[in-house]
Amino acid sequence: MVTSAHPLASQAGLEILQSGGNAIDAAIATTLAISVVEPYSAGLGGGGFALYHGGKQTEALDFRERAPQAATANMYLDKDGKPIKNASINGHKSVGIPGTIAGLAELHRKHGKLPWKTLVTPAIRLAEQGFPVSQQYLDALGWRSKVLQQDPEASRIFLRNGGLPKIGTSIIQTDLAKTLASVAEDPNSFYNGTVAKAIVKDMQTQGGIITESDLRGYKPLWRDPICGPFRQFQVCSMPPPSSGGVHLLQILNMLDDGKLQASDWHQVDHLHKFIETLRIAYADRAVHLGDPAFTTVPVKALTSKSYAAKRRKEIDPARAKTSAEVQATTPAQLKESQETSHLTVIDQDRNAISLTFTINLSFGAGVVAKGTGIVLNNEMDDFATAPNTPNAFGLTGNQANAIAPGKTPLSSMTPTIVLENNQPRLVVGAPGGSTIITTVTQVILNTLVFDMDIKRAIAAPRLHHQWLPDRTRIDRHGFDPTTVELLRKRGHKIEETGSWGNANGIMVLPDGSLEGSADPRGEGTAMGY
């Protein structure tokens, strides 16, 4: 079974499975297809994380974007030390070194079954033949169209006469098809070949700072996944430089007090405790999380049961604290003891992969490397461009996530595999910037605690709190008005908004069969055979 954010991408992955490919093969084909049909969310010009379980082993691959060697801590600040508006969001200078192709090639080298070229073929076909414009495409295009209009390549490919195309219009990407064909022959062409030269030439003419040396030096990194117990399950997710796994386990540990049961779903006491738990976790995130090559991240402490018990005691069951009252624990107390896209695959041997990748904001930096069709990321905005200054998702950070050459920006991506008896039980992930962690957490709780099937678990209304700004975002019309009013009386600042996120996942049922679902908030689908 394959689940992804777009039917054409799920179909590409399914074709590979039906041709004898394994989970890794199908994930690669699906990822490349998403790069064509979701140019606003993820692609060759971005990066991500993958979690893989095969046999009895779980592995994590980091192919996240990294800061170029010419990057500096104050590169987005004016002479007075204040952030320059949109400098880390728009244009070539906001681009981190892309990792998607290197990551996929490494996955294939270690675990692939079918020839690499076979896996790239569906994406080439989609780029040459085109895909129809959907409402989701238009929504993503709408709020970034002014930026895209300023880049001739992006405007030519994705707009029509500088304006929005009509629903059903075919988006054909001839240059991207040529790039994919080059990558199909040799994935290293992206980093040390014709594609690399085209990217660098575009950088040089447009004020970017990525060099041939930056591309040539990029290597994905295998990391030890973060795994921890939750009831009878083992929850495995991404380690730093993603904050996803650390805070997923921290939140689950704080909630798992032996009292949580199925009947607590959307009850005011549980929601109150959940919000206060999120407030604590995101306060810790802002201070302690960053690239482990540059800062010491207290992973074991933050994910320990004892730390969860300690912080749980700080929650007042009758009153919401303000975020000003909640701070990260100091290092001395922590001694060791959006856009984005997600896809999941489980093959017939029950190998499983959960993969999240991104170009950051919709259409990334709003630019396409000339002649390549590659939408470039604006991942540099995921660094703390200045201390305590919110990024595009409202997240703040400190020195642990400051810009430095070769450094990986902190992420919220949370590709997750839940094991039972060392076999996959749930494979899940989501896009959504800072909301990724809370979305994945709620899907896990919905399935493993609140007894929902995967479709209902993913479709269920959500809430989100990230410490700063001090507000709780909830799905409009998704929560009982009486419950919302009771939360307000406890001091929660509730903001009712439209829905968010585009999760997908696969569950292995007790009889061994698979049940998958893509988020009804998006246009994705689950496909199996």
For 141-186, how does the pLDDT look when each residue is reduced to its tens digit (9 = 90+)?
A: 998 999 999 999 999 999 999 999 999 999 999 999 999 999 999 9
What does the alpha-carbon distance between residue 246 and residue 395 come to, in Å, rounded to a whole number?
16
pLDDT score, position 390: 81
**Residue 457 corresponds to which amino acid?**
A
For 464-490, how does the pLDDT look when each residue is reduced to its tens digit (9 = 90+)?
A: 999 999 999 999 999 999 999 999 999
Task: For residue 251, tell me if it sits in a domain.
Answer: no
| Measured CA distances, 418 to 39, 218, 228, 259, 440 (Å) | 30, 30, 10, 21, 11
- Is the pTM higher than 0.85? The answer reads yes
Task: For residue 448, tell me if it sits in a domain.
Answer: yes
Q: How confident is the model at residue 337 (pLDDT cuts 50, 70, 90)?
A: very low
Task: For residue 109, tell me if it sits in a domain.
Answer: yes
Structure tokens at 453: 């099937």
The total number of residues written for the chain in this structure: 529
Quote the number of domains for the chain: 1
Mean pLDDT of 205-215: 98
pLDDT score, position 143: 87
Q: What is the 3-state secondary structure (H, E, C) of 173-187?
A: CHHHHHHHHHHHHCC
What does the alpha-carbon distance between residue 431 and residue 393 come to, in Å, rounded to a whole number?
12
What does the alpha-carbon distance between residue 390 and residue 387 come to, in Å, rounded to a whole number?
9
What does the alpha-carbon distance between residue 493 and residue 246 come to, in Å, rounded to a whole number?
26
Task: For residue 529, tell me if it sits in a domain.
Answer: yes
pLDDT score, position 132: 98
pLDDT score, position 334: 60
pLDDT score, position 398: 75
Structural contact between residues 448 and 234, judged by C-beta atoms closer than 8 angstroms: no
CATH number of the domain residue 175 falls in = 3.60.20.40
Mean pLDDT of 34-40: 98
What does the alpha-carbon distance between residue 437 and residue 439 come to, in Å, rounded to a whole number?
6
Range of the domain at 75: 1-80+87-239+338-463+476-484+499-529
Q: How confident is the model at residue 336 (pLDDT cuts 50, 70, 90)?
A: very low
Q: Kindly list the catalytic residues.
A: 340
Task: For residue 270, tell me if it sits in a domain.
Answer: no
Task: For residue 257, tell me if it sits in a domain.
Answer: no
What does the alpha-carbon distance between residue 208 and residue 107 come to, in Å, rounded to a whole number?
29
Task: For residue 110, tell me if it sits in a domain.
Answer: yes
pLDDT score, position 330: 66
What does the alpha-carbon distance between residue 56 and residue 347 come to, in Å, rounded to a whole number?
15
Task: Assign 125 to helix, strand or coil.
Answer: helix
Task: For residue 279, tell me if it sits in a domain.
Answer: no
Mean pLDDT of 382-395: 82
DSSP annotation of 411 reads B
pLDDT score, position 392: 79
Structure tokens at 130: 């085109």
Could you tell me which residues come within 8 angstroms of residue 110 by beta carbon, excluding any fewer than 6 positions away?
none
How many other C-beta atoms can be found within 10 angstroms of the C-beta atom of residue 514?
Answer: 18
Mean pLDDT of 305-316: 96
Mean pLDDT of 251-272: 97
For 47-100, how does the pLDDT look when each residue is reduced to its tens digit (9 = 90+)?
A: 999 999 998 899 999 999 999 999 999 999 999 999 999 999 999 999 999 999
